[in-house]
Amino acid sequence: MADPMKIRATLQGDVADVRVLMAHPMETGQRKDAAGKIVPLHFIQTITAQLNGKTVFNADVSQAVSRNPVFAFKVKGAKAGDKLSITWQDNKGDKRTDEVVIGAGS
């Protein structure tokens, strides 16, 4: 079900500016549907970024984060051609991994 992420990684010197856009409903567990029933919690719990297979960024995320969230962070020591992969996992066990090559003009 998970749709692809949009990952942008641009190099400034040896620092990669990474911006990730994720497609996720991020249900808070407080919203009610048209029938008045509570929509169950459904949110991204962990995000991991790996540069050439080495973890460089780890995040625990709560249901307070908006639907279709954006994450931005910087990675030191990145070079053009490095592989950056981002993985998220939600509380239902759903997972998605996308990869970009830094400096490939994405």
Partner 1 sequence: MRHALVLGLAAAISAAPWQQAAAQAADPTAAEFDKFREIMEQDNPAELFEAKGEELWRARRGPKNTSLEQCDLGLGAGVVKGAYAQLPRYFADVDRVMDVEARIVHCMMTLQGFKYEELAKQPFSSPVRTPEPVSLATYVAAQSRGMKIAPPQNHPKERDAYETGKAIFHYRAGAFDFSCASCHGEDGKRIRTQPLPNFTKPATAIAAVQGWPGYRMTGGVMHSLQWRLNDCYRQQRFPEPGYASETLSALLTYLTVNASGHVYRGPGIKR
- The footprint of partner 1 (CB under 8 A) covers 3-4, 6, 19, 21, 23, 25-26, 31, 33, 39, 66-68, 70, 72
3-state secondary structure of 29: coil
The least distance separating partner 1 from the CB of residue 70, rounded to whole angstroms, comes to 4
CB burial of residue 84 (10 Å; 0-12, 13-18, 19+): buried
Q: How far is CA 34 from CA 27, 28, 43, 68, in A?
A: 15, 16, 20, 21
Nearer to partner 1, 15 or 70 (CB): 70
The smaller minimum CB distance to partner 1, of residues 72 and 104, is found at 72
Decide whether 22 or 56 has the Cβ nearer to partner 1. Answer: 22
